[in-house]
Amino acid sequence: MRRARHAGRTFAWQMLICICFLAIWQWGYALHDRLPWLVPDLLDPYFISRPSDIFEHFLILSCLKSKLGVFNGWFNGEFARCMARSENNLWIATAVTLKNTFFGFVTGVSSGFAAGLVLGRSDKLSAIFQPFITAVNSIPRIALAPIIVLAFGIGDTSKVVTSWIVVVFLVFFNTFEGARSIDEGFINAARLLGASEWQITRTVVIPSTMAWVFASLTPAISFALIGVIVGEFIGAERGIGRLIIESEARAEASGMMVAVVVLMLVGVALSALIWRLQAYLLRWQQHNLAE
């Protein structure tokens, strides 16, 4: 009861903050001439647009409205024509960026996880690879993006590779640490119950490394998205990053902001998916709280 009231109050505060934020964004600059000492120049809609313009631009970019400001309607064919006309409309751009993020994430997580497990469980291999890993890890991976685009072209492959390269190390290091810090007691227990090396890996090493891996997945999904967007900045025909570059070329702040808002929503949705998966796979950890 008390907790419910508390949650309600929290929500009310959150709403209030949102409304204030949006209101200042929308109308704050109107006060600039009268109160120049209070309202910074940066609030100029030329730079940061304003919520109503962003929404308007969202409708246009997503073919829900024509450029003249008329609602397209779903059934008169205008929507379909607009979709066909603009190669990089918001739907396609989002789908392309999401797809590349997904592949970058999946390949990065799986290869980082596998490498982390192998090196984490083998003192010999980790000793051999240690200096190389440290060296490569010291490179800001994003700096490789232009080279990757040069090598793999402006198609989707270069985005997946950029995304992969920023994700793989993150997951690798977490898995590696996790595999190093496994309680030897668990491994001995499994071995004495007759487990083979592969059974030990499957039933002890992987489950006990999971908590470490999951700790890296939420940042990994943001990193995957960053990798794709940077790749699209450098050279792409489609994608949200491309949308941002196009809007920037036309000095259209509202267009960039649409892209940013969409990226935010995509990021939140993907993180929520990870949290759900984590809550399921690591459900044994929840019970620690009940003790």
Partner 1 sequence: MSVQALHAPEVDAPPDARRIDVRGLCKTFQLAGTAIEAVRDVSFNVRRGEFVALLGPSGSGKSTVLNMIATLLKPTSGQILIDGVPVIHGRATPNVGYVFQRDTLFPWRTVADNIGYGLELAGVPVAERKDRVNACLKQAGLEGFGNAYPSALSGGMRQRAALMRTLVVEPQVLLMDEPFGALDTHTKIDMHDVLLRIWEREQQTVLFVTHDLGEALTLADRIILFSARPGRIKESFEVDFARPRNAVKIRETPRYAELFQLIWHSLGEEFIKGRKP
Binding site for partner 1 (CB under 8 A): 183, 185-186, 188-195, 199, 203-204, 207-208, 210, 282, 284-285, 287-288, 290-291
Minimum Å distance from CB 135 to partner 1? 31
C-beta closer to partner 1: residue 11 or 284: 284
| Matching residue, tokens 């379909």 | 80
Q: Which residue, 130 or 199, has its beta carbon nearer to partner 1?
A: 199
Find out whether 109 and 214 touch, Cβ atoms under 8 Å. Answer: no
C-alpha–C-alpha distance, residues 291 and 289, integer Å: 5
Q: Least distance to partner 1 from the beta carbon of 40, Å?
A: 52
Which of 46, 284 has the CB closer to partner 1? 284
Point out which residues pair with 71 in neighbouring strands.
65
Backbone angles phi, psi at 71, to 5 degrees: -65, 130
Other beta carbons less than 10 A from residue 144's beta carbon: 18
CB nearer partner 1, residue 87 or residue 197: 197
Give 181 or 188: the residue with its C-beta nearer to partner 1. 188
Q: How far is the CB of 53 from partner 1 (least distance, A)?
A: 51
- What one-letter code names the amino acid at 99? K
Nearest distance from C-beta of residue 219 to partner 1, angstroms: 23
- The per-type count for the chain, helices as H runs and strands as E runs, is 14, 0
Nearest approach, Cβ of 122 to partner 1 (angstroms)? 16
Q: How far is the CB of 272 from partner 1 (least distance, A)?
A: 23
* CB nearer partner 1, residue 182 or residue 221: 182
DSSP state of 201: I
Q: Which two tokens stand for residue 223?
A: 């990193």
Q: In terms of C-beta density within 10 A (0-12 exposed, 13-18 middle, 19 or more buried), how is residue 213 classed? A: buried
Longest dimension (CA), the chain: 80
Report the alpha-carbon angle 249-254-260, nearest 5.
90
Q: Closer to partner 1 at the Cβ: 136 or 189?
A: 189
**Least CB distance to partner 1 at residue 212 (A):** 13
In which residue are the tokens 């059934």 written? 75
Cα 121 to Cα 129, 167, 179, 180, 212: the distances in Å are 13, 21, 6, 7, 15
